[in-house]
Amino acid sequence: MEALKGFDIDAPRWDQSTFMGRLKHFFNITDCRTVLLPDSRLDEAKALVESCRAGSVPPGTTVEQLHYAKKLYDSAFHPDTGDRMNLIGRMSFQVPGGMAITGFMLQFYRTVPAVVFWQWVNQSFNALVNYTNRNAASPITPKQIGVAYVTATSTALATAVGLNLYTKKAPPLVARWVPFAAVAAANCVNIPMMRQQEILNGIAVTDEDGNKLGHSRKAAVKGITQVVISRVTMAAPGMIILPIIMQRLEKYRFMQKITFLHGPLQVMMVGVFLIFMVPAACSLFPQSCSMAVSKLEPELRESIISQYGDRVSYVYFNKGL
């Protein structure tokens, strides 16, 4: 048993300043097996994490048990509030949830009703994920949630249906890429709309020791932009490469005999992509985002300089996922 004296459970196991360190971290907390655990097990993990933070680790607890408890805590509890997140909105649910929805979007792209239905399902899923992984320090009203949901869904449907009709005479592969175009366009609307309070009122920023310095709209824009890039990157390989694979496979006679299995097959292949792409996309940028004080709004920059002089060069904030 490893000694637990002075053990800091919040210290990152891997270097978060490097992509590989973040990749290992997100492979750990996006493990889809954790969604099968009951709430009681997650609450036990939270209790153990909080006990460790308080310096009262139960006798007999090993470092491995603490690491696993922290894994469950990070995968299921919001970093700002400490509240347990809804199951569907967790990043650990992105693989099973995303593979099913994306697989069927790629399979049922030929008719307008199918496009409308699956884009609506996908945007409903995305809206819940975006709300769940927002920076919770910036509250959002039910009305704003509704407007964000309707706007993003309408954008996805308009893009998908419009491109679907426009590509009727285009090469078959182009039509297969329509779902990705709709998903990318909707992400550019869904995430900023769902997190509009951060853009309007600013996001809480701190110094490197966690001392709150104020709220910044520019920091919010930077964080949300990075999240949009990550989400589009997460979907891109599966939704761009898989249509090419399927188009080639469908030329074979054996594939033409099992058309009823094309949907399940695409779901499984999307899952293979997402197992790697969910942690990879989340790792593109540090979750604890930084911004130079010189790039903040003038009033906030002046406030920080007046209080701290040149001792604070950068501010930090949770960009969300």
Beta-carbon contacts of residue 184 (< 8 Å; ≥ 6 apart): 232, 235, 236
Mean pLDDT of 275-280: 90
Q: How confident is the model at residue 135 (pLDDT cuts 50, 70, 90)?
A: low
Residue pair 152/122 in contact by the 8 Å Cβ criterion: no
Q: Is the pLDDT of residue 217 over 70?
A: yes
Mean pLDDT of 212-223: 90
Instruction: Write down the pTM of the prediction.
Output: 0.79
Report pLDDT for 5: 63
Give, in order, the Cα–Cα distances in Å from 292 to each of 165, 222, 297, 307: 46, 12, 11, 16
Measured from the Cβ of residue 95, the count of other Cβ atoms closer than 10 Å reads 24
Q: Where are the domains of the chain?
A: 2-84, 91-318
d(CA 268, CA 64): 32
**Residue carrying structure tokens 């604890």:** 288
Q: How confident is the model at residue 1 (pLDDT cuts 50, 70, 90)?
A: very low
Name which residue leads in pLDDT, 44 or 181. Answer: 44
pLDDT digits (tens, 9 = 90+) for 158-207: 877 787 777 777 777 777 888 888 888 878 887 887 778 888 888 888 88
Question: Where do the H-state alpha helices sit in 250-310?
Answer: 253-257, 262-282, 298-308
Q: Is the pLDDT of residue 40 over 80?
A: yes
Tokens of 30: 């996006």
